[in-house]
Structures are given as structure tokens and as C-alpha cells.
Amino acid sequence: MKSFVAIDFETANQYRSSVCSVGIVFVENSQIIDSFYELIRPTPNFYCSWATDIHGINYWATINSSDFPYVWNKIHKKIKDLPLVAHNSAFDESCLRAVFDCYGIEQHCNNFYCTYRESKRLFPDLPNHQLHTVSVPGTMQTWSENPWQTSCRRP
């Protein structure tokens, strides 16, 4: 797959609709051509401490942020029908479906691919298949060049 969109969501709490950030990297012909990151005011709008401990985002960071439909409107035309890729895509795809349902947005038809599952298939002898483990030389790409890691970066 030479052209795709790497996508990563963070959530504020246990509800998959509580997307509080999205990071995206656009890859065309195996080259990163663009990236996007934005904080989002989650729905429902409360933060669990365990979630903030994972990603560092809290209520005050998103209090003046836009709701998901505004952010999605900025990016969905650029995503087009490209395949979506995520590390643990089950989580990211379920977030996208939940937030679409929450706001009554038509569901996407893009295929989703999972780098976590693929890394388990390709590298069964690794001690684990966390992103920082599979993103080393000899597996996928180096940490700094990995589009999935790039998608998680905040400015």
C-alpha cells in the first residue's frame, strides 16, 4: 500500500465518542505529503484521569476547541476514499464510528488497516508489538520516520 492516511484518535474518557484529538498523516506514493493535528472538544465533555495520564490532554486544553463535525469538515475531503491505517485500528475505527453516530454524520466507507495486527503477523518473535517496538530499524521504519508516530505528535 503506497497511498493511505494514518490516523490516530485520543479520547477523554471511556466513551469512544469522546474524541479529544486527531492526528493524521497523508501518505502518497510512499511519501508523507501532509499532516494534520487538532484538539477537539469531546462529547461527552469530561476527562478521566487515566485518559489524561495517557495522552496529557485535559479539559482546559480543549475548552475552546471545536466540536468534531467542524474538525471533520476540514479534513474529510482530503481523506477521500484512501485507506485508513492505525496502530490498533479496532480502537480508532470504533472512535470514528461512535463520533459519527453521536453527531449523525454519515459513516465512512474507507477500508481500515491495522499496523498492530500486521506487525504480529510479520514479526511474531518480537517481545511485544507496541508502536515503539515495531518502529525500529529492521521492522517497519525508524521512530522518527514512522507515519503512525507522526500522526500522534502534537505541535
Q: Is residue 140 part of a domain?
A: no
Q: Phi and psi (nearest 5°) for 135? A: -100, 35
Is residue 143's pLDDT more than 80?
no
| Residue 130 in domain | no
Q: In the structure, what pLDDT confidence band is assigned to residue 137 with cuts at 50, 70 and 90?
A: low
Tell me whether the omega of the peptide bond preceding residue 147 falls within 30 degrees of 0, making it cis: no
Is position 119 within any domain?
A: no
- Look at residue 50 in the predicted model and tell me its pLDDT: 97
Q: Convert the pLDDT of each residue in 17-48 to its tens digit.
A: 999 999 999 999 989 999 999 999 999 999 99
Q: Is residue 44 assigned to a domain?
A: yes
- Is residue 96 included in any domain, yes or no? yes
Which residue range is the domain that position 28 belongs to? 4-114+145-152
Task: Give the whole-angstrom CA distance, residue 102 versus residue 98.
Answer: 6
Domain CATH number, residue 84: 3.30.420.10
pLDDT digits (tens, 9 = 90+) for 41-81: 999 999 999 999 999 999 999 999 999 999 999 999 999 99
Above 50 in pLDDT, residue 141? no
CB atoms near residue 113 (< 10 Å): 16
Domains identified in the chain, total number: 1
Sheet of 31-39, strands arranged across: 31-39, 19-28, 4-11, 84-86, 112-114
* Residue 135 domain-assigned (yes or no): no
Q: Does any domain span residue 137? A: no
DSSP string, 7-74: EEEEESSS-TT-EEEEEEEEEETTEEEEEEEEE---SS----HHHHHHH---HHHHTTSPPHHHHHHH
